[in-house]
Amino acid sequence: MANIKSQIKRNRQNLKRRARNRAVRSEINTRTARAEAAARTGDDAAAEQLRMAVKRIDMAAAKGVLHPNTASRKKSRLTRRIARISAGDEG
């Protein structure tokens, strides 16, 4: 345990940030999975699910939770996966 006052505060801040970052990353994973599931079932809302997933990824990058290049890569891969699923080629 830290003895220095500033380090005790820093530890508190880090715990809060870690919890917030984990929540954001978890939501990104959830929305990505929902978008893929909607595309697999041929749901009409698949485009909307994809839009929401991309929106959350963009928000995470804007807040600094994800590096901008990581966000771009995630969006690109997700879009390609869903396009491939929608085309009927699930390979």
Residue-wise pLDDT for 6-54, tens only, equals: 999 999 999 999 999 999 999 999 999 999 999 999 888 899 999 999 9
Give the whole-angstrom CA distance, residue 78 versus residue 84: 10
The predicted structure's pLDDT at residue 42: 86
Give the whole-angstrom CA distance, residue 45 versus residue 67: 28
The predicted structure's pLDDT at residue 91: 52
* Structural domain 5-86, CATH architecture: Up-down Bundle (1.20)
Q: In the chain, what are the domain boundaries?
A: 5-86
The predicted structure's pLDDT at residue 88: 78
DSSP code of residue 87 = T
